[in-house]
Amino acid sequence: MHPLTLDELPSDFNLQWVLSYGSLPKIYSTLKQNKTKEARDFLRAYAITYLREEIKAEALVRNLQGFQNFLDVAVAQYSEQVNFSAVSRDCQVALSTVKEYYSILEDTLVGFFLYPYLKSARKRMSHQPKFYFFDNGVTRALLGSLQDPPTPLEQGRLFEQWILQEIVRLNEYDQKDWKLFFWRTSHGAEVDFLIGRGSRLLYAIECKFKRQPSSSDLSGLRSFHDNYPEVPCFVVSPVKQPYRLSFARILPPNRLFQELK
């Protein structure tokens, strides 16, 4: 089971809670009881007990300190493209070991890769993917930042990660058979998420943690739209009401997921 989805959360949904503490059932119910410190303690215990002690107990890694160094580097780079060589250098373990450690995080469902959209699957696997964690609260527990509210930069990254988590959950629970990618050109134009099925692209989604995205926020989507004008483009943002901006629709999260369903 995944953490709670938006549909499973109560009607008094709190976006700031989901960004700061994730949506593991015990955490969210504890926050609803106004026990914020207890929720933080649960998340710290999860990060320490499960991600460190359980992995050690299962003998998944021989060098626990090396894995700890890797985890510190990996979690600091969530939602960014992974440079495996740089991670190897920063955590001082072999390149092959770094790739093995990422595989452990995937196999234990702690996180997942998102690969760039390229028509050749072989080429796609040779490009740098992005890595995301399964829950924002666990991410912040591993970062050691639960005590403080997320900065504006962190809020943007956490919002992007949460939107992808929701898409992954929807894909699995509703058996959509989607393939998920990000899109990036050699000139740096980027779209956060593409959703496809088979060889067909279904949606392009950009995440903006802003109350009112403007035309200046569409640069990556505009480049994509020029190449794939038939693919619907969405900007998901904490807006109160949907609106259209040129070729793109600006949607709050709940309306985006209604569209995807």
At 201, list the tokens: 């692209």
pLDDT tens for 53-65 read: 777 666 566 677 8
Q: How far apart are CA 61 and CA 185, in angstroms?
A: 36
Q: Is residue 191 domain-shared with residue 72, that is, in the same domain?
A: no
Q: Is residue 205 domain-shared with residue 237, that is, in the same domain?
A: yes
209 neighbors 221 (Cβ within 8 angstroms): no
165 within domain boundaries:
no
Say which residues have a Cβ less than 8 Å from residue 93's Cβ, sequence separation at least 6.
63, 66, 69, 70, 101
Say which residues have a Cβ less than 8 Å from residue 129's Cβ, sequence separation at least 6.
81, 82, 113, 114, 115, 116
Closest CA to 214 of 246, 240, 190: 246
120 within domain boundaries:
yes
Q: Which residue has the higher pLDDT, 71 or 126?
A: 71
Q: Is residue 102 domain-shared with residue 211, that is, in the same domain?
A: no
Closest CA to 15 of 30, 26, 1, 31: 31
Helices (H), 46-185: 55-57, 64-76, 84-91, 95-107, 121-126, 136-143, 152-173
Percent of all residues in the chain with a pLDDT value above 70, rounded to a whole number: 94
Q: How confident is the model at residue 142 (pLDDT cuts 50, 70, 90)?
A: very high
Q: Is residue 38 domain-shared with residue 137, that is, in the same domain?
A: yes
At 220, list the tokens: 């990556």
Q: Is residue 23 domain-shared with residue 152, that is, in the same domain?
A: yes
Q: How far apart are CA 9 and CA 167, in angstroms?
A: 15
Q: Is residue 181 domain-shared with residue 62, that is, in the same domain?
A: no
Q: Is residue 55 domain-shared with residue 137, that is, in the same domain?
A: yes
Q: Is residue 21 domain-shared with residue 62, that is, in the same domain?
A: yes
Percent of all residues in the chain with a pLDDT value above 90, rounded to a whole number: 80
Q: Is residue 152 domain-shared with residue 231, that is, in the same domain?
A: no
pLDDT tens for 66-89 read: 888 999 999 999 999 999 999 999
Element (H, E) at 193: strand 190-197
* Domain count across the chain: 2
Instruction: Give the model's pLDDT for residue 133.
Output: 97
70 within domain boundaries:
yes
CATH number of the domain to which 214 belongs: 3.40.1350
256 neighbors 236 (Cβ within 8 angstroms): yes
Range of the domain at 106: 15-156
Q: Is residue 128 domain-shared with residue 51, that is, in the same domain?
A: yes
Q: How far apart are CA 170 and CA 155, in angstroms?
A: 22
pTM of the complete model: 0.93
2 within domain boundaries:
no
10 within domain boundaries:
no
Q: Is residue 49 domain-shared with residue 130, that is, in the same domain?
A: yes
